[in-house]
Chains A and B, each alone.
Chain A
Amino acid sequence: MSNHPQEAAKFVANDERMHWHDKALWFVREKRDLASKSIPEWEELRSVASEIKTHTLSKLDYYLEEFEKNATQKGITVHWAKDALEHNEIVYSLLEKNKVSKIVKSKSMLTEECHLNPYLEERNIEVIDTDLGERIVQLRNEPPSHIVLPAIHLKKSEVSETFVEKLGTEKGNDDPTYLTRAARASLREDFLDAGAGLTGVNFAIAQTGGVVVCTNEGNADMGASLPKLHIASMGIEKIIPKLEHLGVFTRLLAKSATGQPITSYTTHFHAPVVDGEMHIVIVDNQRTPFLASKDYNKALACIRCGACMNTCPVYRRSGGHSYGYVIPGPIGSTLGNFKDPKANKTLPFACTLCGSCTNVCPVKIDLDTQLYTHRQDLGAQGLLSKQKTISMKITAKLMQHPKLFDFFGKTIRKLVPMLPKSIVYSKYNIWGQTRDLPKMPKNSFKELYKQGLKDEL
């Protein structure tokens, strides 16, 4: 159950940290702007990407089957999971069959969504997240707070404390290079030990039957290339029709995400390693209902770049954990609210409808429109607070009667200046907790207009 206003208030309470977080993400947004402006055809590229996604989703069953056929021909085994549990069961059975007791995992929001780690750990499989940010939050027993920058909410001093405790680094040494080297050394042992590598999938190409994984650290590549067993988990929406479409998406992804020209590694896996096995698990887990929704189907086009989070003025000031859903920020709010409106009903309101997210989205998802529409759906489903619906009903009625509205307005304007401050600014006046009310003018504009604008203001 998410309660964004409550969690956000906690984050904002530490003003210094809130501003530090806001600035860090704004810096990423600015890098994204610079990168996008280095490409004159940027806006056209977004349009083409959006069209490719729409086309693909319109024939998703066809492309999924084509993908399976071509992947199988390449010696890859394809599995299908209708939900999170089935996904976890498939992964576990593969590990069991191969007698694997330790796995290295690279970043995959899907496995977060499926809660794969606890599922495997309960079955005595050691799971090591290997992306540095993911490893940090794993050692702290926290979820990631951002889909691309999992530990963006943490200060280096906190990372240092965690590493002192878990990796035995020097106390007080919070130099990022030192800490990264310590994690590298420790994770290298894990890579060498692990019996299987799990990765996510950025793109799955129907035409060639392979998957593409994009990382900077090289962790997915180590994990997928060193052990004999590689398991890649993907949502059904990761499909693209042809190899040439990667030209579009690889240009957009990293530039939108972090402002990098491309990720350090953009790896195309089209076969197992020598004498090894490669498995791909295709997961639905409540994705197909999006295809049946005229308002929300575009959300499935998301390529998980995180640009909407970096630009969101609410996300930057409330932190990823405040959303209480596996994917935070604008895209998470629409996905989460669609999947479970009751649990996530505060999320479409964690937004000022500023529209910046829609403008940065590389595949042109109409995020702000979706969040507006979710609000109406929540209203229609009776999931808004009584207080809100009643006050809005009354206001709407009032506004149908101009004379009544005039009278009401006039009463407020006369009354407020006469009341003691303690009443005007009581705890029930949420607006007034941090803001002064406007000065109450003697006349409304309508009154002045009727008087021929002669009267004093």
Chain B
Amino acid sequence: MNSKQYILNSIKNTNIIKETPCPQIPDFGIVYEDKFEQFAQIIKTVGGDALVCKKEDLDKTIASLYEDEKVISSNVDGCTLGNFNTDVDDPHKLKDIDLAIVKGEFAVSENGAVWIKNEDNKHRVLYFIAQNIVIVVQKDKIVNNMHEAYENIDFSDAGYGAFVSGPSKTADIEQSLVIGAHGPKSGYVLFVE
């Protein structure tokens, strides 16, 4: 008997837990009066920040945030700051990116997270290897909570997706919060009106 059969059989033969119905998730998720305000407030507590701009001001807004960053990638429609093509064969070649400007699908008010799908990117490591990140989201794409968030997610055709909430961080040394662990050292969410 192989290990799969061994494990499945021992579960089948010994499990005494009575089968209960799979619970329906009640419609109880918290909702906010001003979803953007809530998002902006939460993302500040996790080391990020939320800004709003018009589509035509994308370049100007991002450039003002990152004046010194040289190697920049962008896969966002309406942003022309990109000077590095991420469509390379080996993801290790992304190691010198100073700033990645990427598309976010929607934002979650409850926890300051943005859902990214990596559909317009070859290498998913882009979100983590870049020194800084700006995620661009449509201003009307904000949901209240994680229950609503998962209503908008589907893996039937996708291989990857992540919620990103602020830049990378750690508090492993004496519980002191340090922004910028292994992933980006700063992270903005830019809402486009």
- Which one of A24, A260, A261, A297 lies within 8 Å of B175 (CB-CB)? A24
Q: Does A4 contact B (CB under 8 A)?
A: no
Given contacts A262-B113, A262-B163, contact A184 B15 (CB under 8 A): no
Interface extent on A, as a size class? 35 or more
Tell me which residues from 205 to 232 in chain A have a Cβ below 8 Å from any Cβ of chain B.
Answer: 208-210, 216-219, 221-222, 225-226
Q: Does B65 contact A (CB under 8 A)?
A: no
Q: Compute how far the CA of A260 lies from the CA of B162 in the bound complex, rounded to whole angstroms.
A: 17
1/0 contact trace for B140-167 toward A, CB 8 Å? 0000011101110101101111111111
Q: Which of B66-74, B75-83, B119-127 contacts A (4 or more CB under 8 A)?
A: B119-127
Residue contact B160 to A60, C-beta cutoff 8 Å: no
Residue of A nearest to B166 (CB): A264
Residue contact A243 to B19, C-beta cutoff 8 Å: no
Q: Does B10 contact A (CB under 8 A)?
A: yes
- Which one of A156, A261, A294 lies within 8 Å of B174 (CB-CB)? A156
Contacts of B21 in A (CB 8 A): 55
CB distance from A102 to the nearest CB of B (A): 14
Q: Does B64 contact A (CB under 8 A)?
A: no
Q: Does B170 contact A (CB under 8 A)?
A: yes
Contacts of A152 in B (CB 8 A): 175
Contacts of B4 in A (CB 8 A): 68, 80
Number of A-B contacts (CB under 8 A): 268
Residue contact A264 to B169, C-beta cutoff 8 Å: yes
CB distance from A35 to the nearest CB of B (A): 10
Contacts of B11 in A (CB 8 A): 60-61, 64, 236, 288, 291
Interface residues in chain B, defined as those with a beta carbon under 8 Å from any beta carbon in chain A = 2-4, 6-8, 10-12, 14-23, 25-26, 28-30, 42, 45-46, 91-92, 95, 108, 110-113, 122-125, 127-129, 145-147, 149-151, 153, 155-156, 158-176, 178, 180-184
Q: List 26 A-B contacts (CB under 8 A).
A: A41-B30, A48-B25, A51-B20, A58-B15, A58-B17, A64-B8, A65-B8, A156-B173, A180-B170, A184-B181, A210-B155, A216-B169, A216-B181, A225-B124, A245-B25, A254-B111, A265-B164, A268-B160, A270-B158, A271-B160, A272-B159, A284-B7, A288-B7, A288-B15, A292-B15, A297-B16
Known: A149-B172, A225-B91. 6 other contacts (CB 8 A): A51-B20, A80-B2, A218-B183, A219-B181, A244-B151, A264-B164
